[in-house]
Amino acid sequence: MTTRALFDAALAETQAWHAALPAVSGFVAWPMDLTYQDRPPNTLSAAGLVQTAPGGPTPASTPLLSALQALAPHLEWRHTYSADEVGQHFLDRFGWFELAGPDGHFITHQTRITVGYWGAGLHYGRHEHDAEELYTVVSGHGTFHLDDAPDLELGPGDTRFHPSNQPHALTTTDSPILTLVFWRGEGLGDNPRLTQSEATS
Ligand code: ZN
């Protein structure tokens, strides 16, 4: 399969995932302005970890997981955060990419669809952004924290909504987690900001 065909296959599985989860299809419409953008791969350790240790999927999430795993070596993986902010241990077990969005492998200005991976035993500290966000879990599990809301332990097919500029965090314990995340509203091209108190922890 060509690289382009791998991207198209992953996009098709993402669209099926979007359609199958009412919380997701109700959050944002599937974008109609998608155009493929050729981007050179940027390989981080997360590219290998997604293939070898993604965390357990469900039967419903296996096709999407498999499509993302096939894509892993071809992706423009990002860290955004520095070792000073989150530590090298974290960076060695974390990565994300923009499947679709203003700066993604597919360009759209109607939403942003990113994929994030965290290894087991990590704490992604409190952070926030202008855009509203809906997390979905593809494989593995983790505990989602949101200011003024109860913690939620989420696994494959589960979702969590994060309002605009409401700090949230994620903790993994005995399992990695792979997530597919949708944004809507203002600031689709922005990166999340760690809240002040987390910047040095
Ligand atoms: Zn967020």
Whole-number average pLDDT of the chain: 96
The whole-number pLDDT of residue 201 equals 44
pLDDT at 199 over 70: no
The whole-number pLDDT of residue 1 equals 87
pLDDT at 127 over 80: yes
The whole-number pLDDT of residue 197 equals 66
- Please tell me the distance between residue 44's alpha carbon and the centre of ligand 1 in angstroms: 21
**What's the whole-model pTM score?**
0.96
pLDDT at 132 over 80: yes
- Please give the average per-residue pLDDT across 21-32, as a whole number: 98
Q: Provide DSSP, 26-47.
A: TTSPPPS--EE-----B--HHH
- Please give the average per-residue pLDDT across 7-17, as a whole number: 98
Residues at Cβ < 5 Å from ligand 1 ion: 133
Taking phi first (over 0 means left), then psi (-120 to 50 degrees means alpha), and beta for anything else, what does residue 129 get? beta
- Please tell me the distance between residue 193's alpha carbon and the centre of ligand 1 in angstroms: 9
Q: How confident is the model at residue 173 (pLDDT cuts 50, 70, 90)?
A: very high
Quote the CA–CA distance of 75 and 78 in Å, as a whole number. Answer: 9
Q: Which two tokens stand for residue 14?
A: 């993402």
Taking phi first (over 0 means left), then psi (-120 to 50 degrees means alpha), and beta for anything else, what does residue 84 get? alpha
- Please tell me the distance between residue 1's alpha carbon and the centre of ligand 1 in angstroms: 33
Per-residue buried b or exposed e for 95-110, using 16+ beta carbons within 10 Å of the residue's own CB: bbbbbbbeebbbbbeb
Percent of the chain with pLDDT over 70: 98
pLDDT in tens, 49-80: 999 999 999 999 999 999 999 999 999 999 99
- Please tell me the distance between residue 162's alpha carbon and the centre of ligand 1 in angstroms: 7
- Please tell me the distance between residue 53's alpha carbon and the centre of ligand 1 in angstroms: 23
- Please tell me the distance between residue 127's alpha carbon and the centre of ligand 1 in angstroms: 7
- Please give the average per-residue pLDDT across 103-126, as a whole number: 98
- Please tell me the distance between residue 125's alpha carbon and the centre of ligand 1 in angstroms: 11
- Please tell me the distance between residue 111's alpha carbon and the centre of ligand 1 in angstroms: 14
